[in-house]
Amino acid sequence: MNGRAFATVVLDVDSTISGVEGITWLAERAGELIARRVASLIADAASGKVPQDEAYATALGTIRPRREAVDALSRAYIDQIDPHCEDAIRQLRRAGVRVILMSTAPRHALLRLAYYLGVDFDDVYAINVRFDAIGAYDGVDVTSPLAHADGKRLLLATLNVERPVLVVGDGLTDLAMRDAADAFAAFTGFVQRDDVAERADVVVDSFPELASMVLA
C-alpha cells in the first residue's frame, strides 16, 4: 500500500473539519424566530418525525439565505477550522491518498474551504443551492442524494474510488457510510456523540492522530 493504510479518505465537514454546523449557522443569523423553527425541523428530522429531505428543503426555504450569507458561511468554516486539519490533509495528499469532502452543507460554502485545504473541487460533494441574478435564494436541489437521510451512503456507493476507503465524521449519516466503505472513524475533536463512537471502528480526536492512522 506504499505506506498507506487507506487509499481514500472521505471527510465530513460540519463538526469534523470545522466547528461550524452550516444550516444552524445560517439560521441563527437570520433571526431568533427562524433559528427556532429550523432547530425544530432538525430535531424532527433526527427523530424521524419528518423525512430528512423534506426537513432540509423546508429549513433552507425558511432561512432563504442570500448568496452573501453563504459566502459568509464559507469564511466561517475556515475561521473555525480544526487547527491541524490543513497539515494533515496535505500529508495525506502528498502520500497519494485521495481526500473527499462530503457534506449536507451548501456546496457553494465549501469551495473556499476546499481551496484552502488543497482538495480538488471535483472531490467536493454537497448540496447545490440556487441564487437568482441579484443573489437572492432561489431554491435547493432536493434531487441530490445528500438531501436524503441515507444519501451519503448511497452517494459513496456510486463513486469510483480506490480502496480501502476510510470514512471520518461525527454523525449518524457519516456512520451510515460504513456499509459503502472499509472502515469508519468517529471524529470527536469538536463533539462526541456516544451512539456514533460506540459503533465506530476507531475513535480519533485529532487530525494528527488521523493522519498517523491513515499513513501507518
The mean pLDDT value for 38-63 works out to 82
The least confident of 38-52, 111-125, 139-153, 176-190 is 38-52
Half-sphere exposure of 97 (CA within 13 A, CB side): 31
Look at residue 74 in the predicted model and tell me its pLDDT: 97
The whole-number pLDDT of residue 79 equals 97
> How many CA atoms within 13 Å lie on the side-chain side of 24?
10
Domains of the chain: 8-18+82-214 (3.40.50.1000)
- Residue 6 is classified by DSSP as -
Pairwise CA distance, residues 137 & 132, whole Å = 7
Q: Hey, what amino acid is at 180? A: A
User: Taken in order 20, 150, 155, 204, is the CA torsion positive or negative?
Assistant: positive
Q: What is the mean pLDDT of residues 149-155?
A: 89
Of 166, 183, 178, 191, the C-alpha closest to 88 is 166
Cis peptide upstream of residue 145 (ω within 30 degrees of 0): no
pLDDT tens digit string along 90-101? 999 999 999 999
pLDDT, one tens digit per residue, over 64-88 is 999 999 999 999 999 999 999 999 9
The residue among 184, 17, 185 whose CA lies nearest residue 102 is 17
Average pLDDT over residues 114-118: 97
